[in-house]
A and B are shown apart, each in its own frame.
Chain A
Amino acid sequence: MALPKTWQSFLDETGDMSRFTGRFFAQGFKPRYEFSEFIHQCFIIGFKSLPLIGLTGFIMGLVLTMQLRPSLIDYGVESQLPAMVGIAIVREIGPVVTALIFAGKIGSSIGAELGSMKVTEQIDAMEVSGTNPFKYLVVTRVLAATVMLPVLVILSDAISLYGSYLGVNIRATTSFQLFFKQVFDALSFSDVWPAVIKTFFFGFAVGMVGCYKGYNSRKGTEGVGRSANSAVVVSSLLVFIIDLVVVQVTDLLGIN
């Protein structure tokens, strides 16, 4: 192979990850279904992430509003602040920032958890105990991440907008009703749908990468740490790549 070694290992890993994803689709939708474990993972991945994601969302909305205000005042369109912040949050910042925080929290925890389970033979123990560990561990987590991230993004968007409302009220006064009227006047379905749909892909990517890295963790505690770390790096990168793809697709479909 004339390829440099880094390229070789990159392609090798990409292929491995694709095969892992293929295995998810091959096994994920056949019985037996690990429903109660799926619900349990939804609770851990979704509900337990809410405080962190809510806090970041709130700060994001507040800061974005305060940062945008001077520019809008320069153009004399300060009254457009809610509309602008609303579109920015719903279309891009809410989904992407939430997905990145999610990748940091969930990607690393899945990577570390599955990594240490692999290293301490818990995955083998599961298999011996009559459980398909791929279904029990990977499918449930990937599905939970896929389903929970959109919910988190919606809640985060709402909290962000509330933060933005407070941000507007620091320097000016607007009523809650007027603020949300302005926001929703500026929004259309084509702003919401692509944003919601891409969060499913974000969640899937984060779950998949976290599980892949953990499931294929190398022996030793260092391997576990590396799994967690590379799960965060790769899934954050994937979030941006998916975002890029989604924006191209929606542009091609003319939903912008």
Chain B
Amino acid sequence: METVQETIRPPVHEKVQEPVITIRHLYKSFGANKVLADFSLELKKGENVAVLGKSGSGKSVLIKCIIGLLKPDSGEINVLGQPVANLDHDELDRIRVKVGFLFQSNALYDSMTVRENLEFPMRRHWIKMTPGESSDRVMETLKNVGLAHTVDMMPVELSGGMRKRIALARTLILNPDIMLYDEPTTGLDPITGKEISKLMMEVGEKYNTSSLIISHDMNCIRATADRIVMLIDGKCYADGSYEELKRNNDPKVKQFFE
């Protein structure tokens, strides 16, 4: 049984040595299209890192490699000390319990109610709890994203922003150590996008997660990330805080800040 981790999250500016995700020399190509070429990244505990890149630059491929949905051609991916690419199905499942993945399109199950959507990961990961406990957990998580009243609604009845929150709740319900956000604000209006960004920060504090945010929405990145990694030409092109990168004069970097 998973419990909410009570450890207090250290302040961001204190450098924590323990990396939760380590990516080294990652290569991935689809046919002749080399998406990732020698990409390396390190995410330390408690850190919020954004991966910035153009559409089709391989951001989604990167995040799917981390969670094991795609297998890299070569390179090394360590998540919580485990080499993801070499794990069998059961071992991968044990890692995935600790890694939350917020999909770009939310991926809420249309045929299920909000409650069933939230219960699904718990049920599927064999987390044993009584119906009462499970219901309490669902309500608590929904409260954390501010949508407790939607518990018995179907996903199609909800607005885009609400669906994003429900999807976030579904990833949080397992108390993950790491959160992977795949373009969390894409397709939302700027105001809702800002709300989601704020919510991401809040839950990050509350659930004590490290997060990897993939986006091309500079507002979101600016609000959520401690550090930004520029994914250009399949590799880590530049690395630094928002302010540092903004001062960078490289044209490929600069175009993101115009």
Q: Do A and B interact directly, with beta carbons closer than 8 Å?
A: yes
The interface of chain A, by Cβ under 8 A from chain B, is: 113, 116-117, 119-122, 124-132
Chain B residues with Cβ under 8 A from A124's Cβ? 64, 69, 103, 107
Closest-CB distance, A210 to chain B (whole angstroms) = 16
Other than A128-B69, A128-B101, give 6 A-B pairs with Cβ distance below 8 A: A120-B106, A121-B106, A122-B108, A122-B109, A125-B107, A128-B96
Chain B residues with Cβ under 8 A from A130's Cβ? 93, 96-97, 121, 124-126
Decide: B120 and A129 in contact? CB cutoff 8 A. Answer: yes
B228 at the interface (CB under 8 A from A): no
13 intermolecular pairs with C-beta atoms under 8 Å apart: A116-B110, A117-B110, A121-B105, A121-B106, A124-B64, A124-B103, A124-B107, A125-B103, A128-B101, A129-B120, A129-B121, A130-B96, A130-B97
The interface of chain B, by Cβ under 8 A from chain A, is: 64, 67, 69, 89, 93, 96-97, 99, 101, 103-111, 120-121, 124-126
Given contacts A130-B93, A130-B96, A121 and B107 within 8 Å (CB-CB): yes
Decide: B69 and A127 in contact? CB cutoff 8 A. Answer: yes
Query: Helix, strand, loop or mixed for chain A's interface?
Result: helix
Cα–Cα, bound, A129→B92 (Å): 11
Decide: B67 and A128 in contact? CB cutoff 8 A. Answer: yes
Partner of B101, one of A113, A117, A120, A125: A125
Closest-CB distance, A47 to chain B (whole angstroms) = 16
Cα–Cα, bound, A29→B124 (Å): 19
Cα–Cα, bound, A67→B61 (Å): 61
Closest-CB distance, A106 to chain B (whole angstroms) = 15
Decide: A129 and B110 in contact? CB cutoff 8 A. Answer: no
Cα–Cα, bound, A57→B250 (Å): 72
Q: Which of A113, A117, A129 has the most CB of B within 10 A?
A: A129
Shortest Cβ distance from B120 into A: residue: A129
Closest-CB distance, A16 to chain B (whole angstroms) = 16
Cα–Cα, bound, A132→B101 (Å): 16
Partner of B105, one of A113, A120, A131, A132: A120
Closest-CB distance, B15 to chain A (whole angstroms) = 30
Given contacts A128-B69, A130-B93, A122 and B124 within 8 Å (CB-CB): no
Closest-CB distance, A207 to chain B (whole angstroms) = 17
Q: Which of A113, A124, A131, A132 has the most CB of B within 10 A?
A: A124
Closest-CB distance, B108 to chain A (whole angstroms) = 7
Shortest Cβ distance from B180 into A: residue: A128
Shortest Cβ distance from B106 into A: residue: A120
Cα–Cα, bound, A122→B106 (Å): 8
Cα–Cα, bound, A41→B204 (Å): 38
Shortest Cβ distance from B96 into A: residue: A128
Cα–Cα, bound, A16→B143 (Å): 45
Cα–Cα, bound, A151→B81 (Å): 52
